[in-house]
Structure 1
C-alpha cells in the first residue's frame, strides 16, 4: 500500500506552503491596475532590487511575460527575433521569449547585468502558485504595463498572489543550490540502472532527463505506469517518446 507519493513530473506541480497560504490570507491589497496594490508594489520593488534593475512588473504567466518583453523590445512592425532551434520559447511557447536563470552560486544581478530585460518564473523552482515577474528599466516596465493591460493580464487585488511569490523568493531561493545537487545525485543513480541512460554532465539544475535504451523491453508510458503503482510520478517527454523528464 502506497503511503507517500513522490511527484517528479515537474517543478510546476508544487503546492503553496503554509507560510504562502498565510501570507495570501493576510495580504494587504488594493487595485493593482490603478497602481494602488501595496503588496504588489512591495514585491515588484524587491524583485527589481534583487535583479539589479530599475523596475519590475508581475504578470500572470511566463508566456505572457515573454510576449510582452518581445513586444516592448520589437516595437517596430516587421522586427525579427533570432532564436536557437532548441530555445524554450521556440519549442514550448509557440513564439514566446524566455530568459531562464538558475542558482549557480553567483549573485543573480551579476548573471543578468548585461540583459536589458529578464523574465523570472515564480511557479517552478521557487514554488509560488502562479506568476512571472519581468524586470528592466523604468521606461521598459512602463511600456510593459500598458501591454499587460492590452493582453488581458491586468489584475485587481493581485497582492494575494504577490504575497505568496514574496514568501517563495524569501524562503526558497536559498534552497535551489541543494535542490540542484540532489538532482545531480539522482541522475548519477539513474545512470547505473540497466536499460536507462542519463547524460549526467547536462544536469545543472533540477531538471533530469533519461532515455530508455533499445532492448529494455519497456516503453516510457509503461515505466511511468509501473512506478506510479509504487507512489512515484514521472512524465514522458512529449518531443521524444523514449525519454522521460523529471522536475524536482
Structure 2
C-alpha cells in the first residue's frame, strides 16, 4: 500500500541531485574551521540573514540551546510563547543545560504582544531572576505554521529595546515565513539579535541547522557547540546538502503551502472535523475532531496510507513538504473523501 507522508517535513529525503552534491563536496576538519564547504555554507547564511556570522550545527534544538546558553544567561528568565517548541519539545534543555527559566507568555496565533509580555518583566530586586531575552518562533509550529507580520516584529523589537533585552528567533521554518510573508530572510532577521533555521525540514537536507548573529555571539556559540558535542569533523558532506537546498528548494516551498491549503479545505468539508482555514498560512494544518476521537480518526487514515500525527485528544497535525507531491496530495484528498471517518 502506498504511503503518504504528512506527519512532518522532517521526513524529507535528499534528492538525487542533492546526494550528488554531497558526494562531490570538498571537506576538511570543521573543528579547525578548515572545511571549505561548511565555511561556504556559513558565509552564504550570513549573507541571507544579514548577520555578521553563522554557525552550522547538527540540529535546531541545539541551535536554540546554544542561543539560550550564550545570550540568555544562567539564572535569567526568557520570555517565550506558551506553545513554544523550546518549552514543550526540547527536553527542558533551556533549564537543564542553559540554566535559563522559560516564562510562558500567552498570545493569539503564537504572537506575543507588548501587553502580554510587559507584566512578565521582573524588576531589579536582587533576590529574583531577571528577564534577559525574548524568544520568538517563526513560523510557529503549534499555532499552525503562522508567520510573524512586520508590525508584530517591530513591536517586539521596540519592546525588547525599551527593556534592554535580546531577541532570539527560533526560525526552524524561517523560509516558509519568507515565502508566505514576502519579506526576505534578512528583513525578518533584522528584528532579532540571533536567528536559527533548519536545513532539514522543508528545505529537504538530511541534517543540520544554522545559527546566525554577531561575530562575538557566533565565536561564543562555537565554544558552546563544542561543549555540547556538536563539533563535527568532515561535515562538508552535510553542508553541501544545505547549500543545495538553499539554492534549489526555497522557491518550491510555495507548492507546499498550496498543497496544505488544498488538504485543509478537504478536511474542513468533513462532518465532525473542523479546520480554521484562516490559520492555514504555510505548510502546517491542524484538524480538530470531537473530544477523544483524534487517535481513532488518525488510525483510519493510516489504514489507507495517509500518515499524520494525533497531536492531542481532539487534534491531528498534517505537514506538507517535498516528500509529497501535488498529485499525491490530490490522491490523499480523494482517499479522505471516500473514507468513512
By the TM > 0.5 criterion, same fold?
A: yes
Counterpart of 1:80 in structure 2 is: 77
Residue 183 of structure 1 aligns to a residue whose secondary structure is: helix
Query: Pick from 273, 290, 302: which aligns with 1:196?
Result: 273
Counterpart of 1:46 in structure 2 is: 44
Deviant stretches of 4+, over 3 Å: 95-98
Query: Which has the higher mean CA deviation after the structures are superposed, 97-106 or 197-206?
Result: 97-106
Counterpart of 1:108 in structure 2 is: 185
* Cα deviations by residue, 1:110-137 (Å, 9 ceiling, x for unpaired): 1111211001011111111111100011
Residue 134 of structure 1 aligns to a residue whose secondary structure is: strand
CA distance in 1, matches of 2:85, 2:72: 19
CA distance in 2, matches of 1:84, 1:179: 25
- Once the 2 structures are TM-superposed, how far is the Cα of residue 205 of structure 1 from its aligned partner? 1.2
1:11-160 alignment to 2 at 5 Å? 11-75=9-73, 77-93=74-90, 94-96=92-94, 99-100=170-171, 101=174, 102=177, 103-104=179-180, 105-160=182-237
Unmatched 5+ stretches in structure 2: 95-134, 136-168, 321-341
* Cα deviations by residue, 1:141-198 (Å, 9 ceiling, x for unpaired): 1110011001100010010110111111111110112311221222122101111111
- Once the 2 structures are TM-superposed, how far is the Cα of residue 230 of structure 1 from its aligned partner? 2.0
- Once the 2 structures are TM-superposed, how far is the Cα of residue 95 of structure 1 from its aligned partner? 4.6
Query: Pick from 313, 327, 333: which aligns with 1:241?
Result: 313
CA distance in 1, matches of 2:286, 2:224: 36
Residue 82 of structure 1 aligns to a residue whose secondary structure is: strand
* 1:158–1:193 CA distance, 2 compared to 1 (3 A): same
| Contact 1:197–1:213, Cα closer than 8 Å, also in 2 | no
Count residues with an aligned counterpart: 240
| Contact 1:209–1:245, Cα closer than 8 Å, also in 2 | yes
Counterpart of 2:248 in structure 1 is: 171
- Once the 2 structures are TM-superposed, how far is the Cα of residue 87 of structure 1 from its aligned partner? 1.6
The answer to whether structure 1 residue 220 and structure 2 residue 294 are counterparts is yes
Residue 244 of structure 1 aligns to a residue whose secondary structure is: strand
Structure with the greater relative contact order (CA < 8 A, sep ≥ 6): 1 or 2? Answer: 1
Residue 30 of structure 2 aligns to a residue whose secondary structure is: coil
- Once the 2 structures are TM-superposed, how far is the Cα of residue 34 of structure 1 from its aligned partner? 0.5
CA distance in 1, matches of 2:64, 2:201: 16
CA distance in 2, matches of 1:228, 1:91: 26
Unmatched 5+ stretches in structure 1: none
- Once the 2 structures are TM-superposed, how far is the Cα of residue 78 of structure 1 from its aligned partner? 2.0
Kindly report the root-mean-square deviation, in angstroms, between the aligned alpha carbons of the 2 structures. Answer: 1.6
